[in-house]
Amino acid sequence: MVLAGAVALIIAERAREAAPVGVAASEASCAPIQTYELQKGTHIEEGATHPPYNSTPPTSGPHYVGPAPAGFYPAPLRPEQLVHNLEHGQIVLWYRPDASEETITAIEALIDREPLAQEAALLAAPYDGVPDADSFVLTAWGASQSCDRVSQEVVDEFRAEYQGRGPERIQGIPPFRPQT
């Protein structure tokens, strides 16, 4: 009897882990994807001044020499560092530092599903420039999409369109193919 209960708990946990994160795309209240004129991806020293970015959060332009490792960040990173990740074809999710626990937990769950190999292509970090407390912005090189609620379906669609398409794909970030 105890063994059957343990097996049932394991099966239930695996089903929960396989379930999509967040809400359906139709419930996420996402704006249409915006594209921006590409700014030159010049490498700059940390702390150097540069022309302003043409999008908030930034989607191209001057950036630090070193990108951030893929993963979830509870503290803000410099936008200039994450723009380098975009140049490599990675996707950055920017969320407000004061986002709801539900939003942050869902974003962290998306990141936790990433492979721990070099092809991990998803990063998340807080950013004061996100418009609403419970919204987040997906960015790729030259594109962004904001949503009010987290939806794995929306994130997967954005990744399928933009992941691996940065101009400097030296990290081998592959195009995204959702698992079926």
Torsion on CA atoms 152, 155, 157, 160, rounded to nearest 10:
-120
**What's the pLDDT score for residue 176?**
75
- Which tokens in the block code for residue 31? 């704006």
CA distance 25 to 101: 20
- The pTM (predicted TM-score) of the whole model is 0.85
Cβ-contact 60, 143 below 8 angstroms: no
**What's the pLDDT score for residue 114?**
83
Sequential pLDDT tens for the chain (180 residues): 544 443 333 333 333 456 889 999 999 999 999 999 999 999 999 999 999 999 999 999 999 999 999 999 999 999 999 999 999 999 999 999 999 999 999 999 999 998 765 568 899 999 999 987 679 999 999 999 999 999 999 999 999 999 998 998 765 676 777 765
The residue among 70, 50, 127 whose CA lies nearest residue 135 is 127
**What's the pLDDT score for residue 6?**
38
> Residue written as tokens 């999509």?
20
> Could you tell me whether strands 122-126 and 71-72 are parallel, antiparallel, or unpaired per DSSP bridges?
parallel
Handedness of CA 13, 16, 21, 27 (dihedral sign): negative
**What's the pLDDT score for residue 68?**
94
Q: 130-152: string of b/e by CB count within 10 Å (b at 16+)?
A: beeebbbbbbbbbbbbbbbbbbb
For the beta carbon of residue 50, count every other beta carbon within 10 angstroms.
Answer: 13
